[in-house]
Chains A and B, each alone.
Chain A
Amino acid sequence: MKLVTAIIKPHQLDEVKEALEAYGISGMTVSEVSGYGRQRGHSEVYRGAEYTVDFVPKVRVEVLVDDIDATSVADVILKAAQTGRIGDGKIWTVPVDDVVRVRTGERGVDAL
């Protein structure tokens, strides 16, 4: 099993969610996060004093998938989240040892 994590622009969330649902993914975890990449943040000016805001708001989407779906899911997210403008985010995939569904105690692929 794999955990696919994507950091995306907040306003791309709906598109990513719909694309994943269309692909057949039944659940995901979404959290509000902030951070910066190569483009850094932006600057704001208050009474002439300039402040650099490094951490820009992003959304983190996490999806647990079977090994064979991992690459496709990453591609689905990529397609849905891409605007081509700076700050579109990152997607990465890491292996997961075990998954348990809390309600039933099912393990592994059955729990996905």
Chain B
Amino acid sequence: MNALTLAAADTPFIDSGNTAWVLAAAALVLFMTPGLALFYGGMVRTKSVLNMMMMSFISMGTVGTVWILWGYSEAFGPDVGGGLIGNPFTHFGLKGVLDAIYGFVPATKTAAAAGGIPGPAFVAFQVVFAIIAVALVSGAIADRAKFTAWTVFTVVWATLVYFPAAHWVFAFSGYAAQTGGWIANKAGGMFLGGAGAYDFAGGTAIHINAGAAGLALALVLGKRIGFAKEPMRPHNLTLVMIGAGILWFGWFGFNAGSALGAGAQAAGVWVNTLAATCTAMLGWLLVEKLRDGHFTSLGAASGIVAGLVAITPACATVSPIGALIVGLAAGAGCALAVGLKFRFGFDDSLDVVGVHLVGGLIGTLLIGLLATKGSPTGAAGLTVNEGLFYGGGLSQLGAQALGAFSVLIFSFVVTYLIGLAIHKTMGFRVDEADEAQGVDLSEHAETAYDLSGLSGGRFGSGSAVTTTASAKTKEGAPA
């Protein structure tokens, strides 16, 4: 019914080393989402840090659930036509996946898949991508979204935007799916002839996708009260630094885990991931020093993330020198791009567009210039279409651009419609008073810190009584 049966004909076996690495990588990637919560949480003001963190955490709850129900099947089930989407019913509830074995080197007509990983390991690895892709979008609508609306959005967006995009990019024919997605597969009778774009770990499916979605939602919700007039400085840069560190740590699972095996490709990808992140941090800081006069900690943290974003699609198809270039371009490029929101007047609160969309585009497009046989993929003995700088001509750049801009436009349009539908029905934005007071209190009835000493009830025996009384009323209500 899918790749597993292709492999089954040639007696597949489970490779314990590959399996161990993929399971460990999946756990690393899951850790990125709480890391993102810290990264984003530190960047907002004191009054909305819990809401910011909860928007990431809830994605683990909702996306994890729908992934098991229909998400996996939508992304990796048999294609229902044109490489656009998998059949959500084939593997509903992970039916037929638990005892499957996925070959990490694709099975071909003449050769069996090499040592494989159990189906659930692949399911686990891919769900953590879906979770963080959704959580990334929330950075664009900090401080002002209704939590219920966001929760509904996570389910709808994952279903209508992320799972299809993941199918386009990650579902290779005869690999994890019987018939895969149109961006992943090389030319050969698929939709548009198969783009054959490289996106090793999700530069288009995750970062361009989330960045375009962030832009769409920022436009639907509108600017925060006081945007570009009042200071909205990050309330805790130490959280941001911890979050960036966790993201960097987890990203090794994200990229090197995408080799789906413990081998030469994974190791090369690991090194490229490090290389690009290093130069990206330097690139961002350099721009800041020249432009603003200081090397800032927020700049270092942002540069790290920008580099990780950009190397994500490119990590397997560029050389280590190529990775240094990708990182430098992304660090400097994103540092310049984050000012765009003030110029164009949209309030992408935490720069999802400036970092993820721009970083994703830089990495995805640079593959068209820098792809080379001297890359982890080439070293692992797999074919690489070389980029322009290596004499490969313009064709790979064209494929990269086609993949990137298709995802960008698809994500922007569909997200805008989803956002608008939620905004017109249940309302996506809290009312003005709640926004001014802070969404932590209005959406969660909590505040993150007791800094004043006056709000902790030291003078508040009266208010403590009120709290108890209203809590009782609430408890009684459902009965």
Contact = CB atoms under 8 A, between A and B. Distances in A.
B389 interface: no
B294 interface: yes
A110 interface: no
B231 A45 contact: no
Contact of B294 (A45, A51, A52): A45
Contacts of A105: none
A48 B231 contact: no
B302 interface: yes
A48 B288 contact: yes
Interface stretch (B181-189, B335-343, B376-384, B399-407): B335-343
A51 B298 CA distance: 14
A44, A45, A47, A53: which has the most chain B beta carbons within 10 Å? A47
B299 interface: yes
Contact of A50 (B292, B302, B335): B292
Contacts of A49: 339, 342
A48 B291 CA distance: 8
A44 B294 CA distance: 10
B234 interface: yes
Contacts of B233: 44, 46, 51
B305 to A, nearest CB: 12
Nearest to A44: B233
Interface residues of A, number: 10
B294 A47 contact: no
B342 to A, nearest CB: 7
A52 B233 CA distance: 10
B351 A51 contact: no
A46, A51, A52: which has the most chain B beta carbons within 10 Å? A46
Contacts of A45: 288, 292-294, 296
A32 B16 CA distance: 61
Contacts of B339: 47-49
Interface in B216-237: 231, 233-234
B218 to A, nearest CB: 16
A51 B231 contact: yes
A46 B296 contact: yes
B352 to A, nearest CB: 13
Interface string A16-49: 0000000000000000000000000000111111
A83 to B, nearest CB: 24
A55 B233 CA distance: 14
| B-side interface size class | 10 to 19
Contacts of B335: 47-48
B134 to A, nearest CB: 23
Interface string B274-303: 000000000000001001111010110010
Interface in B293-324: 293-294, 296, 298-299, 302
A45 B339 CA distance: 12
B67 to A, nearest CB: 33
Nearest to B284: A47
Contacts of B342: 49
A47 B233 CA distance: 10
Nearest to B231: A51
A34 to B, nearest CB: 13
A48 B338 contact: yes
Interface in A62-80: none
Given A46-B298, A47-B338, A47-B351, A52 B292 contact: no
A40 B264 CA distance: 59
A45, A48, A51: which has the most chain B beta carbons within 10 Å? A48
Contacts of B296: 45-47
A47 B302 contact: yes
A82 to B, nearest CB: 30
A44, A45, A52: which has the most chain B beta carbons within 10 Å? A45
Interface string B64-100: 0000000000000000000000000000000000000
A8 B297 CA distance: 30
Given A45-B294, A45-B296, A47-B298, A53 B231 contact: yes
A52 B302 contact: no
A52 B230 CA distance: 10
B206 to A, nearest CB: 22
A44 B234 CA distance: 11
B288 to A, nearest CB: 7
Contacts of A50: 292
Contacts of A52: 231
B299 A47 contact: yes
Nearest to B334: A47
Contact of A46 (B234, B291, B293): B234
B293, B298, B335, B351: which has the most chain A beta carbons within 10 Å? B298
Interface of B: 231, 233-234, 288, 291-294, 296, 298-299, 302, 335, 338-339, 342, 351
Given A45-B294, A47-B302, 12 more contacts: A44-B233, A46-B233, A46-B298, A47-B296, A47-B299, A47-B339, A48-B288, A48-B292, A48-B335, A49-B339, A51-B231, A51-B233
* Top 5 A-B pairs, shortest CB-CB distance: A51-B231, A45-B292, A47-B338, A48-B339, A51-B233
16 contacts: A45-B292, A45-B296, A46-B298, A47-B296, A47-B299, A47-B335, A47-B338, A48-B288, A48-B292, A48-B338, A48-B339, A49-B339, A49-B342, A50-B292, A51-B233, A53-B231
